Amino acid sequence: MAARAQHLGHDVTCLARGTQPPRPGVRFVGADRDRDDGLSAVSNRTWDAVIDLTSQPVHARRAVRDVRARHRVYVSSSSVYAQSNVPDRSESAPIHRPLASGVMTSLEDYGAAKAACEQIYADAGESSTIVRPALIGGFGDQSGRSGYYPWRFANPTGADVLVPDGAFPTALVDVDDLSEWLLLCASRSDRGIFNVAGRTTDLAGVFATCRVIVGSPARVRSVADDALLAQGVAPWAGQRSLPLWVPDPDMRFVATLNSDLARSRGFESRPLRETLAAALRYEHQRAGARPAGLTDDEEVELRALLDAA
C-alpha cells in the first residue's frame, strides 16, 4: 500500500516496530503499538486517511483514541465469518462473536479478534471503511501459499507434480488490486463493510494456469485427501504442506467470498495468471527455505511411497 500510495503521489507515513527496512521515500515512525503511548508520535495532527491492519483489539482502540483522521480504513479478514461451509458469503453473513479480551493470545482467536477490531471502528461513529479480504496472493507473498504451485511446476522433481483435490474452490485476490482499491476507498472516504476476493475458481484451474505460465512438461497428479493426511502432509499452509487446500467439509469455502458490493464500487481483479506469475517472480528471489509446500526431498519421498502403495 505504501508503494501504491507513493506511485499515486500521496505523502506516506508508516508506523511500525521496524523489524524490516522501511520503503524508501516514506516517512518512517518506529513505534511499539503494544505500549499505551505507542501512537504519540503521530497524534499531533489530523491525517487525511489512516489505514490500519492490526489484529489486536487494543491496538484498534488506541488508534481510534489517539489518532485523528478524516477517514479510516480498517483491513479486516474473511476469517471474521462464523461459517466457512457456505459459498459466496456476503457482508451480511454471520460473523464470530468479538473477542472480549483486548489482546489475541492464540491464532485460534484470529477471527474473533478481527471482529472485535471491526466493532471498535464501527462504534467510533467516524467515517470509515472496513474491508474483509479473502486469500491474498501475488508478489511479496511471504507465506508462500500463492507462490508454491507455480514454483513447483517450474521446478518439478519428477514427471509429475503432486497436488491435492483439484475440485477445492479458491479465490486469490492480487495484493496490488487490493491495495489500489483500499487507497481508492481512502481517497473517496467510502463508508461501509466490503468483501474483497478474486474470481472464484478451483485448484485444478490454479494447477493448469501454473503449467501454462512456466511451460511445464510435468503432469498434474492429484492425491486423495486420506493419502496425504496419512503421510503427514498438512493442509493450507506451513512446512510439509500442500497450500490452499483444506480437507474439512466445514472449511470448504474458506477462501471464497461474494465481492459484488466492492466491484460495484470500483474494485477490479486481474486474471489469475498474472497473480500467479507475480508470486513466482517473488519465489525466484526468495532467500532461505520456503515456508509452505513440500521440499524437493519431501515430494520425492512422498511420490515413492505413493508408487509403492
3-state class (DSSP) for residue 162 = strand
Give residue for cell 501454473: 210
How confident is residue 8, by pLDDT bands cut at 50, 70 and 90? very high
Q: Tell whether the model's pLDDT for residue 309 goes beyond 90.
A: no
Give residue for cell 482467536: 109
- Residue pair 163/223 in contact (Cβ under 8 Å)? The answer is yes
> Which residues neighbour 167 within 8 Å (Cβ) at sequence distance 6 or greater?
202, 203, 204
How confident is residue 287, by pLDDT bands cut at 50, 70 and 90? confident
Pick the closest to residue 242 from 156, 144, 172 (CA basis): 144
pLDDT digits (tens, 9 = 90+) for 208-219: 999 999 999 999
Q: What is the dihedral of CA 173, 175, 177, 183, to 10 degrees?
A: 130
Is the entire prediction scored with pTM above 0.85? Answer: yes
Which amino acid is residue 292, in one-letter code?
A
